[in-house]
Structure 1
Amino acid sequence: MIIVPEREISGLVSATDCFTAVEQVFAAMARKSAYNFPVIREAIGHADALYGFKSGFDRESLALGLKSGGFWPRNFEKALPNHQSTVFLFDADTGRCRAMVGGNLLTALRTAAASAVSIKYLARQDAKVLGIIGAGHQSVFQLRAALEQRPFEKIVGWNRHPQALSRLEAVAAERNIPFEAVNLDRLGAEADVIITIASSFAPILMANQVRPGTHLACMGTDTRGKQEVETDLVAAATVFTDETKQSVTIGEAQHAVGKGLLAAAEIVEIGAVINGDHPGRISATEITLFDGTGVGLQDLAVASAVVDLALAKGVAIKVDF
């Protein structure tokens, strides 16, 4: 069995590697040659933690396995990332465990890659202002990935605790792009693309705060009950997602579907846009919304890439298991 420790990940895989892996697996999902298994995600009744499993199989790449982990909100006090996860890969021909890969950084990178894919295919080509709601650990990865997709000229940000926006301001400074902390009204009025990456159980962004032509990448809702944007905003948008089944059960669309404001059949899996089977955005005034629920196949795709890179660079640990 191959082990790739968490400490090795940053030196092995790039944001571009993750973008390519996620884009390819979304396309495979749309071709029905890759599929996710049912998600298990539960509050465990200890340390306020959410814990679960995401798994799947890609018949094209033969990636088979699962990611085990979750969200421990008190880890900040212990100088640990709140998100903790490990990816296990299995040999599709024999069922033997092939690899164990540290999943913390990979989770942040693959989540950012998914929103970046949505920006590539759904945001207006003339998008100039990027808005970010949320300034937690994953927000920096989101910002860096988004900046590769459009020549943004300004970044605006909002967070419940404004002091945390300094991490986004630092990234903006690296790229010589102006950054401004704003209220939600201004963010919606100025931003052409809005990324939401907040762990929220109540809507933060309202429909009347978003102007026509905006693309939203809603990346923080991955559990039943979570919600980042108002249901009326979801209903007013053309909704795309990574996987419809997750979108309507644990994603941002769960509330609009539950209220009868949106039908599951109206939601488009982004792989169809990547494959050219759906046009994506059809007008400059259309509001597009990507409901990024986070699918197991994303984790397997990036973990598989990491294993290949670790073997090629000689940093993989091999054990008899």
Structure 2
Amino acid sequence: MAVVIGAGDVEIDLPRLAAELTEALRAGPAGPGQRVRVPVTEDVTAMVLVPGLAPGIPAYTVKVHAKNPNRSPAITGVICLHDLATGDLLALIDSAGLTAVRTGLGGALGAHVLARADARHVTVIGAGVQGRAQLEALAALRPIGSVSVRDTNPAAEAEFVAWAERLGLTTSGDAGEIVLTATWSREPVLHRVAPGTHVTSLGADEPGKAELAPELLAGALVVVDDPALAHVTADTTIGAVLRGEHPGRTSEDQVTVYSPAGLPMQDLVIAWHVYRNAIRKSPAVFDLGSGM
């Protein structure tokens, strides 16, 4: 029996999902991270991520979506969740919301693991959906003392500040000990940071995008989720840090960078989380019929 889970039907327990995603990253993917990326027009990129596999989850995902930074939402598409044993379709899930959660939570987990334990002040560069998703996820993982935001659009900055204050966060203009960048930039937006800063950058997930200057990367410990998918030269992976195979941050003054590409395995962990929540509340989903 397959179900459709729209954006309004998605139910997420963020602390529980963070624990599930951390465990999956520690274990490592059950298969290779594969993706097909095809430019469709000057603005639109179509992408297929297949397959999403993770130890202990009896399902796999295939995601088909499009990216268009000139639209809102910038990402649209669908995640197909299949039974691992039979290949039967279990669910069709709107990919925009899940991708935002996956990317935001994945970036925030990297920040939480690599930042100094006492880091409480956050700067967000990019006041869009992904900047909000990262900050909200990070606030679920550690206390946030204050947050500042930078964006080329003053109205977006003001809306972000109002949203953060509704979450109960204090806003300020101070530079953060944790910097979360979430832009579509193809030119560096961050050239230098203070010693001890952690930076999570989401902008190097495809060729041509670059949020961080080469000199910043050259002086930092650079961590990725999958070297084969990354578009930066990395020192190690977040899985290796979580497993204790790499120490991660080694000093209070060290600059650390987490630059995830986003793994199909992470799509599966989140899709399975959402699917289990949805089938416990059957009125919130729609039966497509056993013929599927």
Fold in common (TM above 0.5): yes
* Equivalent residues of 1:197, 1:220 under 8 A apart: yes
**Whole-angstrom distance in 1 between the partners of 2:159 and 2:32:** 34
**Whole-angstrom distance in 1 between the partners of 2:204 and 2:77:** 17
Point out where structure 1 has 5 or more consecutive residues left out of the alignment.
258-263
**Where does residue 60 of structure 1 map in the other structure?**
56
**Whole-angstrom distance in 2 between the partners of 1:103 and 1:53:** 12
**Whole-angstrom distance in 2 between the partners of 1:9 and 1:268:** 37
**Where does residue 177 of structure 2 map in the other structure?**
192
Aligned length: 288
Displacement after TM superposition at 1:295 (Å)? 1.2
**Whole-angstrom distance in 2 between the partners of 1:37 and 1:147:** 28
* Equivalent residues of 1:154, 1:178 under 8 A apart: yes
* Equivalent residues of 1:2, 1:316 under 8 A apart: no
> CA separation of 1:132/1:7 partners in 2, compared to 1, >3 Å: closer, same or farther?
closer
> CA separation of 1:151/1:37 partners in 2, compared to 1, >3 Å: closer, same or farther?
closer
**Where does residue 39 of structure 2 map in the other structure?**
43
Q: Which structure 2 residues correspond to residues 2-13 of structure 1 after superposition, within 5 A?
A: 2-10=2-10, 12-13=11-12
**Where does residue 285 of structure 1 map in the other structure?**
253
* Equivalent residues of 2:108, 2:135 under 8 A apart: no
Which structure shows the bigger proportion of residues in helix conformation? 1
> Structure 2 counterpart of 1:173, which letter?
E
The answer to whether structure 1 residue 69 and structure 2 residue 57 are counterparts is: no
Displacement after TM superposition at 1:101 (Å)? 1.3
> Structure 2 counterpart of 1:73, which letter?
P
Aligned to 1:202, the other structure's residue is in SS state coil
The answer to whether structure 1 residue 177 and structure 2 residue 177 are counterparts is: no
Displacement after TM superposition at 1:150 (Å)? 2.9
1:177-208 Cα distance to aligned partner (Å, 9 max, x none): 3324x5xxxx6xx21000010011111110xx
Equivalent pairs: percent with the same residue?
27
**Whole-angstrom distance in 1 between the partners of 2:128 and 2:7:** 21
**Whole-angstrom distance in 2 between the partners of 1:5 and 1:149:** 27
> Structure 1 counterpart of 2:275, which letter?
V
> Structure 1 counterpart of 2:253, which letter?
T
* Equivalent residues of 1:194, 1:215 under 8 A apart: yes
The answer to whether structure 1 residue 93 and structure 2 residue 85 are counterparts is: yes
**Whole-angstrom distance in 2 between the partners of 1:148 and 1:98:** 30
Q: Which structure 2 residues correspond to residues 180-259 of structure 1 after superposition, within 5 A?
A: 180=172, 190-206=175-191, 209-247=192-230, 251=231, 253=232, 257=233
**Whole-angstrom distance in 2 between the partners of 1:311 and 1:41:** 32
Displacement after TM superposition at 1:55 (Å)? 2.0
* Equivalent residues of 1:221, 1:227 under 8 A apart: yes
* Equivalent residues of 1:67, 1:87 under 8 A apart: yes
> Structure 2 counterpart of 1:204, which letter?
V
**Whole-angstrom distance in 1 between the partners of 2:146 and 2:99:** 27
**Whole-angstrom distance in 2 between the partners of 1:223 and 1:154:** 31
Displacement after TM superposition at 1:175 (Å)? 4.0
The answer to whether structure 1 residue 129 and structure 2 residue 121 are counterparts is: yes
**Where does residue 261 of structure 1 map in the other structure?**
none
* Equivalent residues of 2:179, 2:198 under 8 A apart: yes
**Whole-angstrom distance in 2 between the partners of 1:237 and 1:53:** 31
Displacement after TM superposition at 1:123 (Å)? 0.8
* Equivalent residues of 1:34, 1:59 under 8 A apart: yes
**Whole-angstrom distance in 1 between the partners of 2:128 and 2:92:** 27
Displacement after TM superposition at 1:64 (Å)? 1.4
